[in-house]
């Protein structure tokens, strides 16, 4: 039996993503990949898929999907409101970080994120899609990736791989907030006035509506450039803070271009990126300057915390298999 989801509503910016493609920046192809890496890995681990398997990432409002096939489990991570309408019309309110069993004819309606931006959806066995340029990630602007480089479209089918056998499981996890977004100096930090440097690390900035997977535009005190507002284009990395001529910073996100010619004030550290991208428009941000060596140590701590979460899930899986063997021996 061919098992699949029928897309009733595509949602807002629902795309297939993985950790992103590597080693193609030299030809102008962005890495893309999931915005919130920790929630991506947790989703695949709980559902017992491979950690690098693709997921459906959605922003604000997710898709509505009707399932056709045998019993399976789904998982949604993030801070998300969703419900399952069973084939008998009974509605079940969903809970994030908990596997939910679905059956033929059930409808999953991902209603909205809650005071955040991105959520993640997958199913045990995973989605039957092809890698493009070595990755399952979608870059819509370039029309590169699975699903012909498009967002989910109303009426399309999403085919599924053969399901693996799992039991119901959950994780007690809360997405933490952060008081400051930590930043290291950029390559053009010296271009800006001393007052602008002080302002950036002491004043409040606001996330504007001009924010997507490519970049986050901020409003606040304008940063004064004493040298050049346009420079020779250079390579860019995720988290770079560019400052165009109007003085309002732009933070480059996962779909950012590979080169750019605006001065680079700083770079958001990798350990804070997951929390940064979950800030919806209207959110207030304060920045804190740290040294490169401190950023490296904080990223080690971030990875250690993530591994502790994954180990907790995997220990539960081992206990599950142990008790299943005991049952089979009886």
Radius of gyration of the chain (CA): 21
pLDDT of residue 309: 93
Give the residue-averaged pLDDT of 232-248: 95
Rounded CA separation 151/138 (Å): 8
Give the residue-averaged pLDDT of 22-42: 95
CB atoms within 10 A of CB 1: 7
Rounded CA separation 259/303 (Å): 28
pLDDT of residue 321: 61
Rounded CA separation 178/277 (Å): 12
Residue 247, classified by CB atoms within 10 Å of its CB into exposed (0-12), middle (13-18) or buried (19+), is middle
Residue-wise pLDDT tens digits, 284-299: 999 999 999 999 999 9
Residue-wise pLDDT tens digits, 183-205: 999 999 999 999 999 999 999 99
**Please, what is the angle between helix 37-46 and helix 292-329, to 10°?**
10
Tokens coding 97: 């970080």
**pLDDT over 70 at 328, yes or no:** no
- Element housing 173 (H / E): none
pLDDT of residue 187: 95
Closest CA relative to residue 212, chosen from 272, 178, 256: 256
3 state SS of 44: helix
Residue-wise pLDDT tens digits, 149-170: 999 999 999 999 998 877 778 8
Give the residue-averaged pLDDT of 120-149: 96
Residue-wise pLDDT tens digits, 245-263: 999 999 999 999 999 999 9
Q: What fold characterizes domain 181-290?
A: Cyclophilin (2.40.100)
Closest CA relative to residue 262, chosen from 232, 237, 239, 287: 232
pLDDT of residue 87: 87
Rounded CA separation 237/258 (Å): 8
Which residue has tokens 């350990």?
271
Which residue has tokens 């991570």?
77
């Amino acid at each position: 039996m061919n098992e699949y989801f029928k897309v009733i509503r595509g949602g807002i910016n629902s795309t297939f993503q993985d950790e992103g493609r590597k080693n193609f920046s030299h030809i102008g192809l962005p890495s893309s990949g999931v915005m919130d890496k920790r929630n991506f890995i947790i989703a695949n681990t709980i559902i017992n898929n491979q950690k690098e398997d693709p997921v459906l990432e959605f922003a604000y409002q997710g898709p509505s999907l009707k399932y056709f096939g045998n019993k399976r489990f789904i998982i949604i991570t993030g801070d998300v409101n969703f419900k399952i309408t069973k084939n008998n019309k009974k509605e079940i309110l969903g809970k994030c970080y908990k596997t939910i069993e679905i059956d033929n004819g059930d409808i999953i309606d991902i209603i909205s994120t809650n005071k955040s931006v991105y959520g993640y959806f997958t199913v045990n066995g995973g989605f039957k899609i092809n890698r493009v340029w070595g990755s399952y990630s979608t870059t819509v602007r370039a029309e590169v990736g699975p699903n012909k480089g498009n967002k989910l479209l109303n009426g399309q089918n999403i085919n599924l791989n053969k399901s693996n056998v799992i039991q119901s499981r959950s994780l007690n996890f809360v997405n933490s907030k952060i008081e400051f977004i930590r930043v290291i100096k950029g390559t053009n930090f010296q271009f800006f006035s001393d007052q602008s440097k002080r302002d950036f690390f002491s004043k409040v900035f606001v996330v504007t509506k001009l924010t997507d997977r490519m970049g986050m535009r901020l409003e606040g005190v304008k940063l004064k450039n004493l040298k050049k507002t346009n420079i020779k284009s250079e390579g860019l990395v995720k988290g770079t803070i560019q400052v165009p001529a109007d003085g309002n910073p732009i933070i480059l996100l996962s779909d950012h271009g590979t080169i750019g010619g605006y001065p680079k004030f700083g770079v958001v550290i990798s350990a804070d990126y997951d929390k940064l991208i979950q800030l919806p428009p209207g959110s207030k941000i304060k920045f804190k300057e740290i040294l490169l060596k401190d950023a490296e140590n904080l990223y080690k701590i971030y990875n250690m915390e993530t591994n502790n979460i994954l180990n907790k899930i995997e220990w539960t899986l081992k206990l599950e298999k142990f008790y299943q063997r005991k049952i089979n021996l009886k």
